[in-house]
Amino acid sequence: MTVDLNLVGAKGAIAEAAEGKWGMSIDQDICTGCQACVAACAMENNISFVGEEDAGYGRSQHWIRIERFWEGAYPEVKATPFQPMLCQQCGHAPCEPVCPVFATPHSEAEQLNLQVYNRCVGTRYCANNCPYQVRSFNWRDYHTIPERGNMVNGTLVFPLHNQFNPDVTVRRRGVMEKCTFCIQRIHKAQDKAKSEGREVEDGEFTTACAQACPANAITFGRVDHPESLVSQLTHQKRGEKHLEELNTLPRVTYLKEG
Amino acid sequence: MAVASKYLPGAKQAHDTHHEEEDHKQYLMFDPKPRGEMNAMVMESMHTTSWKFWVVFGILSVIVAVCFFYAWGYMIAEGLWVAGVMRPSYWGIFLVNTVFWIGISHAGTFISAILRVFKAEFRRPFTRAAELMTTFGLIQAGASIFMHMGRVWLSYWMFPLPNERQLWPNFHSPLMWDLLAITTYVLGSTMYLFLPLIPDLAMARDRSTGWRKTFYKILALGFRGTEGEWRHLITAMNFFAFAIIPVMFSVHTIVSWDFAMAMRPGWSSTVYGPYFVLGALHSGMGAVAVVLFIMRTTMKHMDYFIRKEHFDALGKLMLMVTFAYTYFFFNDYIVQWYGGDVATDNLLHWLEEGPMAWMFFQMVAFNIIIPPLLLWSKKIRQTPWLLALIGIMINVGMYWERYIIIPVTLSINRMPFTWKLFEPRMDVFLTIGTFSMFLLFYMLASRLIPLIPVWEVQEGQMAHSLRKVGKAHVPTLSDFE
């Protein structure tokens, strides 16, 4: 089945598969809430460390977060499964049409939502319109806060800069960012496969969060290939997508109560 | 010049001729002064500047320098971190200010254009003051939008400038519509301010010397007051008066679409367009009352031009707008509540019993409950300071309304894990900065521009006359056009 997204004008009409190309499944029944995915994502994608105070005020920039909820009132509290939340790479994304400068276009090739950092002017409309609240804004140049550097021979040195991933841009203040499904890894795997004259195999590479998950709760791959692991998991009966009623066509499936 | 006289029902009829004249004298239109004297009065009100003016002017300049320019520069250098915005309230006080100032700017055009089109006679002495409010309010609204942007130094990327990379702004985005609508409104309303100003500038040119003479000479565009010039001017003003009304309605509707087009509980409401337009008029009318009160109390000779009858008429207008606003307010909230969407239900509970409930109920009281309770009384309407106080109250209520629509509503969304209440930070200074700048511009304008459209008042006084019908003197109005 194809869906006509019919975004006329400068974007051209994009018709893409309802299930998309790249997808993810997250098994909430085996997620332990250990936050390894959050840490791995931060390392892989050069995400800023905003510090305790700002994170407490709602300025943490993690592209994936572990949401925890409780059911019931105080004495009879029952914890519900952890819910990792990240960009759902919607096929029909509410964030895309509202950007005045096309900084968040849709990739026809990868069928993902892109964020063009150097085009973003920081109106933050996309983040307001995101029903999943997974976009994070660079409120400040957190990488170069002077108090966090060391003074060596009269120049400020930031030791943490040594662990930056060279494949990923370091974002400056005033731009929006969000989960990219580790598009740098996708491209690397595709380049390798192309040079060897073959297709990318299922399980050949994965995103940083899926790689770090000790319980193997996160699975990433091609959802449009019926034999891939992620599509088999996705098509289980216990799979559900968040806020599907908004017609966003999310690409992340949550598995629960199997 | 076709002269058709019509009976003015507003004026009382008394059979005693002496009392009758006294009675009519309280109306500006029946209390004419010679042209030269009136011109001199307006010129004097511009030139008489006491030391108190300079003290207030100095204080405001310092506030603008610190709270507007320094604070904004600091924020550009440091990032929006210094303001209160965060997840989930990605939009904060800057957009509250934008919507507020655009609202203020509405009444100027409304009073001036709609009342001019409908030939409401009470508008004559204060159209200029209201039009100035439009222009200065829009300057603050524009500045607030730019403050809100993360990378304001790249804001020109939102303009459709041809470039070698063929990058183009996204006309699907409500923010682009907003940019175009506000730009149109700024240009239109500035021209609409300027056109009726030309005869007064020419009057000022003929009565001043030195640098002022040069200043007025340039601005008056060589206006001499010939028949042909007047005819062109009147035609142009009619054009703009009719054209600016739909622009005014569209601008605030489009501002409301910034919210109504988004998929947020509480925002995606189809009645937001007219609701915002009425909200804008509500706050704008209040602001006009405040400005008129300040003009009347601080400037020389203004008590001749701005009288109880004007406050009375404005009060009636405020009362009507309050009722219209009330209708749309309940139309918005009750329909959303009736819809029963879970996210909207959460939001409405948050508004009525959350930490900002005091603001919500204060808004309801200030905007909807208290104004009609006071404004029905003629005595209250005719007391300038009371009407100004009601105007301030309505504006506080309307500021709260926008505050509730933007940061407080944004606190609640479909992802309960992210719910968080917005805290104002350095945005407060910048808000004070925009308010001070507005007042500063107004003070400057009061020294440079005749705040009373003298020619319009004179035209009105010529058109009004008392005619003798039998034994009674009947007030009549001749239609010159």
What is the per-residue pLDDT across B31-40, written as a single tens digit (0 to 9) for each?
888 888 888 8
Whole-angstrom Cα distance, residue B110 to residue B245? 7
Q: Give B179 to chain A, closest Cα distance, Å.
A: 10
List, for residues A24-35, the tens digit of each pLDDT value.
999 999 999 999
- We report the CATH number of the domain holding residue B270 as 1.20.1630.10
Residue B222, domain member (yes or no): yes
Helix or strand holding residue B161 (H, E): none
Longest dimension (CA), chain A: 63
Whether residue A8 has pLDDT greater than 60: no
Whether residue A103 has pLDDT greater than 80: yes
The per-residue pLDDT for A10 is 39
List, for residues A122-181, the tens digit of each pLDDT value.
999 999 999 999 999 999 999 998 888 888 898 889 988 999 999 999 999 999 999 999
B149/A contact by beta carbon, under 8 A = yes
The per-residue pLDDT for B10 is 52
List, for residues A31-56, the tens digit of each pLDDT value.
999 999 999 999 999 999 998 999 99
Residue B36, domain member (yes or no): yes
Residue B55, domain member (yes or no): yes
Cβ distance B169 to A174 less than 8 Å, yes or no, reads no
Structure tokens at A84: 């990792």
Beta sheet of A252-255, edge-to-edge order: A218-222, A22-27, A252-255, A239-240
Cβ distance A140 to B78 less than 8 Å, yes or no, reads yes
Amino acid at A44: E
Three-class DSSP labels, A189-224: HHHHHHHCCCCCCCCCCCCHHHHHCCCCCEEEEECC
Backbone φ and ψ of B426, nearest 5°: -70, -10
CB < 8 Å to A246, chain B: 263
The per-residue pLDDT for B32 is 81
Selecting from B176, B263, B420 the residue whose C-beta is nearest the C-beta of A100 gives B176
Best CA proximity match to A86, nearest among A161, A22, A30, A29: A22
Best CA proximity match to B92, nearest among A65, A59, A51, A97: A59
Selecting from A9, A131, A174 the residue whose C-beta is nearest the C-beta of B151 gives A174
B306-336 in b/e form (b: 16+ CB < 10 A) is bbbbbbbbbbebbbebbebbbebbeebbeeb
Peptide bond into B453 cis (omega under 30): no
CB A111 within 8 A of CB A17: yes
Q: What is the DSSP letter of B405?
A: I
Whether residue A7 has pLDDT greater than 80: no
Residue B364, domain member (yes or no): yes
Whole-angstrom Cα distance, residue B470 to residue B474? 10
Residue B14, domain member (yes or no): no
Residue B4, domain member (yes or no): no
The per-residue pLDDT for B470 is 81
Quickly state the pLDDT bin for A11 (edges 50, 70, 90): very low
Structure tokens at A245: 């009623």
Cβ distance A10 to B168 less than 8 Å, yes or no, reads yes
CB B301 within 8 A of CB B44: yes
Quickly state the pLDDT bin for A9 (edges 50, 70, 90): very low
Residue B341, domain member (yes or no): yes
Backbone φ and ψ of B92, nearest 5°: -130, -140
% of residues, chain A, pLDDT over 90: 65
Structural domain boundaries enclosing B303? 27-478
List, for residues B316-370, the tens digit of each pLDDT value.
999 999 999 999 999 999 999 998 889 999 999 999 999 999 999 999 999 999 9
Q: Which domains does chain A have, with CATH numbers?
A: 2-255 (3.30.70.20)
Whole-angstrom Cα distance, residue B13 to residue B475? 9
Q: How many CA atoms lie within 13 A of A76 on its CB side?
A: 2
Instruction: Name, in order, each residue with C-beta under 8 angstroms of B284's C-beta and a sequence gap of 6 or more.
Output: B103, B104, B105, B106, B107, B108, B110, B133
Q: Within chain A, how many helices (H) and strands (E) appear?
A: 6, 14
- Intervals of chain B under pLDDT 50: 1-2, 14
Q: What is the DSSP letter of B404?
A: I
Q: Provide the domain count of chain B.
A: 1
Residue B168, domain member (yes or no): yes
Query: To 5 degrees, how large is the angle CA B23–CA B27–CA B29?
Result: 125
Quickly state the pLDDT bin for A2 (edges 50, 70, 90): low
Whole-angstrom Cα distance, residue B140 to residue B431? 10
Strand A252-255 and strand A22-27: the pairing is parallel
CB < 8 Å to B150, chain A: 120-124, 137-138, 173-176
Cβ distance A85 to B87 less than 8 Å, yes or no, reads no
Quickly state the pLDDT bin for A1 (edges 50, 70, 90): very low
Q: How many CA atoms lie within 13 A of B446 on its CB side?
A: 26
